Amino acid sequence: MSATGVDHRTSSQKAEETDVLKEKLHGWRAAILTTDRFLCWEKMYYPALLLGVVSITFMLVYWLDPSILTGLSTLVMFVCLADYMVPIVTERFFGPDVYLQEQQQQRFHEICSQLVQSKYATRAVFDSLCTLRQDRPRVYYITVLLLLALVAWIGHQIHNLLLTYLLVVFGLILPGLNRHGFVSKYSNMVWQEIDKLAKRKEKPQ
């Protein structure tokens, strides 16, 4: 099969999966769109509000100091309650007519499409690792061991709760940084500096 045929099949499959995901998340549309507005910094005070809520939550966890089993059980309990209550609450307070606006429907479609794209990107990374393990096992094992050693060292240097807090904060502010162009701006600056250093090394002494 040609590459064009594979790409067409993959695009068609992604579109089908996006439609299926939209159907599954039908009851969560209001919550997802509201969360998207916060994560993408629709208003300038949204980042401070997000950081405040996350900071208060982690302060409560630090103060209560629950065990791992208690923390996991509580987290799963809240997830189950949200899975049951969110569709009911959104349907009662917002109703079905809130989604008749074309802009909201388009944004919800884009979010579901991005989730499907993330799934395929994760699968591509996993397939690349499997291919590297088969073709170049030494490079694979050295790279994996070095990365795991680095992660273990970071985990030893930083408290678990603080490290989790930093990761959560980074994950929450990243969509807003990306939407407002900060990620592309500073990543381009980094690549330009790397390119300058590479060109300097290539020049004859």
pLDDT under 70: residue ranges of the chain: 1-9, 93-100, 183-205
DSSP 204: -
Predicted model pTM: 0.73
The pair phi, psi for residue 136, each rounded to 5°, is: -135, 75
DSSP 99: G
In whole angstroms, give the CA distance from residue 39 to residue 31: 12
pLDDT per residue as tens digits for the range 39-93: 888 888 888 999 999 999 999 989 988 888 998 899 899 989 988 888 887 777 6
For the chain, domain boundaries: 3-165
